[in-house]
Amino acid sequence: MKGTLPFALVILCAASALAQQNDWLIVPGKRLGPITRDTTRVDLDRLFGKGNVQEQPIDEGDGPGPATVVFPKMPTASLAIFGLNGRIEHVSVCYQRTTGPCKWHAASGVSLGTKLQRLETLNGRAFTIEPWISDVGGNVDSWEGGKLAGLFGDGTNRQVLVTGQLQLTLGYQVPPNGLTSQQRKLEEEVDRVRPGPNSSDPAMRQLRPTVTRMRLVFPLYGRLP
């Protein structure tokens, strides 16, 4: 009995230290909790504990690719980390689910499950997304110069290489038996809009989309090449 108390205190202190290091905050272009572009594999073991970090293939839609996974058994906190040239390129946040809860969030509170209308309020105006019929369907295409453009990053691929970006994908709830006839009609109406569906479109609002995916892209360069 005497030996168990100190051990319990050690575990409690370690958990407390981890909680302090990991604030669950996403700062686009800079960090995701304690993770930055320069965080190494050894750093991940130190930050999250070896038992919470492992290598495994993750499919982001183009087939399985090598990734380092943090908290693989905690869907509300799991991260799939992908590298490029020895640095972290991007991180898929709470990649095991498409609805909340998800511990990771931006300073504005945006996370999985955030509603379209809430994004519009935070942005200060309507925004556009990619048509759902495309390979990148549901991705926010442009914040149209709104407030979230400055917070999350918005612009050409060349600019993203420098600033980084928090990429959001929106989707809507589909019944277990598939799209209803009304949902199919609304989606077809939305997908006909060019250059892309606007968040203020009546058909879009009727679908009631929410954030179903978050992907933090770190800047590849410190300045424009």
Please report, in tens digits, the pLDDT of each residue of the chain (225 residues total). Answer: 445 545 444 443 444 344 445 589 999 888 999 999 999 999 999 999 999 999 999 988 778 889 999 999 999 999 999 986 678 989 999 999 888 899 999 988 999 999 999 999 999 999 998 888 777 788 898 899 899 988 887 755 556 666 788 999 999 888 888 888 888 888 888 877 766 788 998 988 999 999 999 999 988 765 434
Predicted TM-score of the model (pTM): 0.83
Helix (H, G, I), strand (E, B) or coil at 157: helix
Segments forming the whole domain that contains residue 117:
21-217
Give the C-alpha distances (Å, rounded to integers) separating 167 from 2, 5, 117, 149: 51, 45, 17, 11
Query: In this structure, is residue 89 part of a structural domain?
Result: yes
Query: In this structure, is residue 45 part of a structural domain?
Result: yes
Query: In this structure, is residue 224 part of a structural domain?
Result: no
Query: In this structure, is residue 201 part of a structural domain?
Result: yes
Query: In this structure, is residue 102 part of a structural domain?
Result: yes
Query: In this structure, is residue 127 part of a structural domain?
Result: yes
H/E element, 207: helix 202-207
Query: In this structure, is residue 8 part of a structural domain?
Result: no
Query: In this structure, is residue 10 part of a structural domain?
Result: no
Counting the structural domains of the chain, the total is 1
